[in-house]
Amino acid sequence: MPAPGRRHTWERRVTPHCSSFIAVSLDGCIARADGSLDWLDHANQNVPAGEDCGYAAYMAPIKAIVMGRRTLEKVLSFPEWPYADLPVYVLSHTLQAVPEAAPNSVRLHSGALSTLMEEAATRGLDRLYIDGGRTVQSFLSEGLLREITVTTIPVLVGGGLRLFGEAGAEALLTHRATVVYPFGFVQTRYAIGSAG
């Protein structure tokens, strides 16, 4: 019990809300086997100027991003860094240091996801964007992913990196919304497990 006359503040940390916003081909791929997104770049040529398929609205409350090494390497190949100064955690057991091309907002994490969640909570990062196939799979398998928005692109890649892998985690999804865009994209949002 706190001593008389002293104020005691109980710190309550809220588990970060983890979600994903990701595009897949009709056959479930997020990239070709070599990581190429040429099929997505081609499809995006049909998207009208100014249409972002809800990406800006999704990103507005996001406080940090979690991705794997391969996703980081892909993002670093883009003409510009797309995440401004948002903190970015990169899950990797092989990287020894953050690549020089990455901004100061990037930090490596090689420990357990539970440790990452604790750190994010301590820093007040209450909404995390989980990006990349393996990272999504890891968060799913540990029951940490609470929501996923999948935009299906009308193309068959024929093989490559699958969003949920070959033997993915089992999860119950609850449909929240579907948007059909006139240029052929179909976007569906699901709550996962008890995210209700």
**Residue-wise pLDDT tens for the chain (196 aa)?**
445 555 444 455 678 999 999 999 999 999 999 999 999 999 999 999 999 999 999 999 999 999 999 999 999 999 999 999 999 999 999 988 999 999 999 999 999 999 999 999 999 999 999 999 999 999 999 999 999 999 999 999 999 999 998 766 788 999 999 999 999 999 999 999 854 4
| Residue 16, number of CB atoms within 10 A of its CB | 23
CATH superfamily ID and name for 17-195? Dihydrofolate Reductase, subunit A (3.40.430.10)
Does the pTM of the predicted model rise above 0.75? yes
Q: What is the pLDDT of residue 1?
A: 47
Q: How far apart are CA 172 and CA 17, in angstroms?
A: 17
- Sequence ranges of the domains in the chain: 17-195
